[in-house]
């Protein structure tokens, strides 16, 4: 029942996210083009299938891919050799990319427009190898704990440096391939791998270190494909000398038949099988550990296949053809402002419906404890894509060189990297890779080729590609701006908000003799609040005084009063006034909130061995009318939570021990009774 309710929530969210696409199509179709689109019923049905498929897909991710990916990462983090996790990262990147349908289409197109210089198979191997290397490098970064921006900045420098040597025919293609390699299935698994590793390795932060693998997978293909282009255009002769012309063909709505459904499911299954095979090999062959809840995991993968196929089918059932038709009609119009407006609107609306972005945004909110709002993050990413595609359309109309725009964009990204908060930087880099996937790429590619085909003096080969690169670049900028804005506004995580609420409810801005009066964080302002305090008294030899104070401080004691404690035994005293002191000890007085009493005493008696071979006394007694002490917000928050939940871990443990003793005592009594009888 719980899973069904979760599915209904996902279904509601999916249809909510499709509303922008519907509004954009209706507005431009009816208000600008002023024609009723053919096959509008097919488009409406397709949108319904998209919504249902998206909900099924996201639920499959939740119960199948995310748990397996994070589980593998945790197991690899404990593995004695991290070489295997590097190999796993490479194979996941290579295996999922080589089977990517969008890559196969672009590789075939590149082979046809390069007069035979580019081989489609070798191009796919180059791209898949670069993505595998990217995931391997990203996993290595997480293991070593290196800051991500150093890697990214070096990568940008290499991209720009290689661009000046690459042939013009390959630059736009290389930039676009950096965006299409991160598929809808790959992104969630790679994200789960990174977050799982960062959560399992001591000293790593899941927010700062866990994200970033997708950014690597988007960056390295730009470098390797340009190097490949330099090689083939300088070393390989064209097989045929001819003018290459690209004709923009409009797609036609897909007809649903039994054969088409079976073929589509098999196609999606082929995309998921390499991932599943790699997971099973490493789970059973390397880690030699069974997958927990295997049936649930396989059911999750089944839902991913069904949901992804339904999602793609819904898009092909009229939406792609309608979007491409609108793009070509608008490019033939006289007003370029309409083109820019359409580019902005279609970029924003398709990004809001992007499944991979939803998965990343949801995981970002979860890992950041609510500090990153998933819906707000998607809004900023969508604005970045919209701005990028609009600027890319302007570049095609204006006829400027793409690398100048990209260089300026990278400079802005690098500058913002030094200003933005650390936790948002890896997420911003990843956002550039997840925005160019199932929904966005076809419509964006249609717009670019349509513009380059219909504008005089533009080459579809040189100018038609590149819009996807703009759609990948600008979200990095807008997401880092989002992080800067949230810091300026003082947005807090869920835990910080809860702590603030507890503190607000606890404090009374007035003197009250029945309550404790404290200063918060050492400030001059005084507050009264209901909180129990105790005095902890520790009497130890003077040479153990420093050890006891350090042990108490380690347990959270903020301060101590040190007194001299002279004592003597009173047994066998003949003359009190002529007996010298037998001891010269130190008395340590701690005034502590109730939650710190047990940890402080426990830390001291364990450090000084008071209850075994050491010397010393430790005891505590409750206090009333506590006035003038200074506490931190954290201490107040912890105490209020313990007050609301009195059965904390320590008390539960004591109760369990008491129960065990009582059971043993009862058992002993029963044995004694049987013996007597």
Helical residues (DSSP H) of 353-466, grouped into ranges: 355-367, 374-398, 402-419, 425-434, 440-454
Tokens of 245: 């012309």
Phi and psi, residue 362, nearest 5°? -65, -45
pLDDT at 536: 93
Q: 533 forms bridges with which residues in the sheet?
A: 593, 623
Whether the Cβ atoms of residue 59 and residue 6 lie closer than 8 Å to each other: yes
pLDDT at 570: 56
Helix (H) / strand (E) element for 541: namely: strand 533-541
- For the beta carbon of residue 547, count every other beta carbon within 10 angstroms: 15
b vs e for 606-616, b when ≥16 Cβ sit within 10 Å of the residue's Cβ?
ebbebeeeeeb
Whether the Cβ atoms of residue 158 and residue 248 lie closer than 8 Å to each other: no
Number of H helices, E strands in the chain: 26, 7
Block mean pLDDT (10 aa), the chain, length 677: 72 76 78 72 79 82 76 72 83 77 67 70 88 89 84 85 83 75 66 78 76 80 89 65 40 65 81 79 83 82 84 70 66 76 84 77 79 88 90 85 82 88 84 64 69 73 73 88 88 68 56 63 64 87 87 86 75 54 78 88 84 77 78 63 48 53 58 55
b vs e for 265-294, b when ≥16 Cβ sit within 10 Å of the residue's Cβ?
beebeebbebbbebbeebbeebbeeebeee
pLDDT at 478: 92
Helical residues (DSSP H) of 148-200, grouped into ranges: 148-163, 168-180, 186-200
Query: Long-range contacts: 234-237, Cβ < 8 Å, 24+?
Result: 236/117, 237/117
Distance CA 166, CA 463 (A): 15
- Please state the separation of Cα 134 from the chain's center in Å: 17
Q: Is 382 exposed, middle or buried (0-12, 13-18, 19+ CB in 10 A)?
A: buried
Distance CA 165, CA 179 (A): 21
Distance CA 58, CA 308 (A): 9
Whether the Cβ atoms of residue 173 and residue 106 lie closer than 8 Å to each other: yes
Place of tokens 């006289």: 334
Parallel, antiparallel, or unpaired for β 627-631 and 561-567? unpaired
pLDDT at 242: 36
Distance CA 553, CA 242 (A): 80
Whether the Cβ atoms of residue 422 and residue 164 lie closer than 8 Å to each other: no
Whether the Cβ atoms of residue 163 and residue 226 lie closer than 8 Å to each other: yes
Distance CA 648, CA 147 (A): 38
Q: 592 forms bridges with which residues in the sheet?
A: 534
Give 604-639 as a 3 state SS string.
HHHHHCCCCCCCCEEEEEEECCCEEEEECHHHHHHH
Q: Is 545 exposed, middle or buried (0-12, 13-18, 19+ CB in 10 A)?
A: middle
Place of tokens 């690098």: 414
Parallel, antiparallel, or unpaired for β 516-520 and 627-631? parallel
Phi and psi, residue 418, nearest 5°? -80, -15
The conformational region for residue 369 under phi > 0 = left, psi -120 to 50 = alpha, else beta, is left
Tokens of 82: 């991290």
What SS3 state is found at 593? strand
Place of tokens 């130190």: 586
DSSP states of 44-55: HHHHHHHHHHHH
Helix (H) / strand (E) element for 233: namely: helix 213-235
- Please state the separation of Cα 522 from the chain's center in Å: 36
The closest of 13, 16, 20 to 346, measured between CA atoms, is: 20
Tokens of 121: 């198979």
pLDDT at 674: 59
The closest of 381, 644, 633, 367 to 494, measured between CA atoms, is: 367
pLDDT at 589: 93
pLDDT at 480: 92
């Amino acid at each position: 029942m719980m899973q069904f309710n979760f599915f209904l929530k996902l279904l509601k969210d999916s249809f909510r996210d499709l509303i922008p696409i519907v509004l954009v199509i209706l507005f431009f179709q009816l208000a600008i083009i002023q024609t009723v689109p053919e096959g509008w019923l097919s488009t409406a049905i397709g949108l319904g299938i998209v919504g249902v498929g998206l909900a099924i897909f996201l639920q499959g991710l939740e119960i199948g891919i995310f748990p397996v990916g994070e589980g593998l990462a945790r197991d690899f983090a404990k593995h004695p050799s991290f070489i295997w996790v590097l190999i796993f990262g490479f194979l996941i990147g290579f295996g999922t990319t080589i089977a990517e349908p969008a890559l196969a289409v672009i590789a075939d197109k590149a082979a046809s427009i390069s007069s035979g210089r580019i081989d489609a198979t070798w191009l796919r191997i180059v791209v898949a190898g670069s993505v595998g290397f990217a995931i391997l490098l990203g996993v290595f970064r997480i293991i070593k704990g290196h800051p991500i921006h150093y890697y990214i900045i070096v990568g940008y420098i290499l991209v720009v440096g290689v661009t000046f040597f690459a042939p013009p025919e390959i630059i736009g293609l290389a930039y676009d391939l950096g965006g299409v390699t991160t598929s809808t299935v790959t992104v969630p698994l790679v994200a789960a791998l990174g977050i799982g590793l960062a959560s399992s390795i001591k000293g790593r932060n899941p927010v700062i270190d866990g994200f970033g693998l997708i950014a690597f997978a988007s960056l390295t293909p730009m470098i390797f494909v340009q190097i490949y282009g330099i090689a083939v255009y300088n070393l390989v002769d064209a097989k045929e000398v001819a003018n290459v012309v690209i004709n923009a063909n409009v797609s036609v709505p897909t007809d649903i038949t039994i054969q088409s459904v079976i073929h589509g499911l098999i196609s999606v299954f082929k995309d998921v099988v390499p991932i599943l095979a790699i997971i099973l090999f490493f789970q059973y062959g390397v880690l030699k550990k069974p997958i927990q809840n295997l049936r649930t995991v396989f059911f999750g993968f089944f839902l991913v296949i069904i949901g992804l196929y339904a999602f793609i089918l819904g898009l092909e059932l009229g939406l792609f053809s309608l979007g491409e038709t609108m793009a070509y009609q608008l490019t033939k119009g006289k007003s370029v402002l309409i083109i820019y407006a359409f580019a902005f609107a279609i970029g924003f609306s398709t990004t809001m419906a992007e499944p991979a972005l939803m998965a990343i945004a949801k995981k970002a909110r979860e890992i950041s404890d609510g500090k990153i709002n998933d819906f707000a993050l998607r809004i900023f990413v969508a604005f970045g894509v919209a701005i990028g595609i609009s600027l890319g359309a302007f570049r095609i109309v204006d006829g400027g060189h793409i690398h100048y725009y990209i260089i300026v964009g990278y400079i802005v990204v690098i500058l913002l990297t030094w200003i933005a908060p650390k936790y948002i930087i890896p997420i911003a880099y990843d956002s550039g890779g997840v925005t160019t996937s199932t929904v966005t790429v076809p419509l964006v590619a249609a717009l670019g080729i349509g513009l380059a085909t219909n504008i005089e003096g533009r080459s579809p080969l040189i100018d038609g590609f590149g819009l996807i690169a703009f759609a990948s670049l600008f979200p990095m900028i807008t997401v880092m701006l989002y992080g800067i804005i949230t810091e300026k506004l003082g947005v807090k995580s869920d835990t910080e908000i809860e702590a603030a609420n507890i503190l607000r409810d606890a404090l009374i801005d007035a003197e009250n003799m029945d309550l404790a009066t404290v200063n918060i964080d050492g400030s001059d302002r005084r507050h009264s609040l209901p909180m129990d305090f105790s005095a902890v008294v520790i009497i130890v030899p003077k040479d153990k005084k420093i050890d006891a104070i350090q042990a108490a401080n380690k347990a959270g004691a903020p301060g101590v009063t040190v007194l001299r404690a002279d004592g003597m035994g009173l047994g066998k005293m003949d003359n009190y006034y002529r007996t010298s002191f037998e001891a010269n000890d130190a008395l340590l007085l701690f005034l502590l909130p109730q939650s710190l009493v047990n940890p402080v005493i426990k830390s001291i008696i364990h450090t000084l061995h008071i209850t075994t071979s050491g010397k010393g006394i430790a005891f505590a007694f409750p206090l009333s009318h506590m006035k003038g002490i200074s506490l931190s917000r954290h201490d107040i928050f912890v105490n209020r939570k313990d007050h609301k939940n009195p059965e904390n871990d320590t008390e539960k443990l004591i109760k369990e021990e008491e129960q065990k003793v009582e059971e043993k005592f009862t058992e002993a009594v029963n044995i004694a009774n049987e013996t007597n009888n």
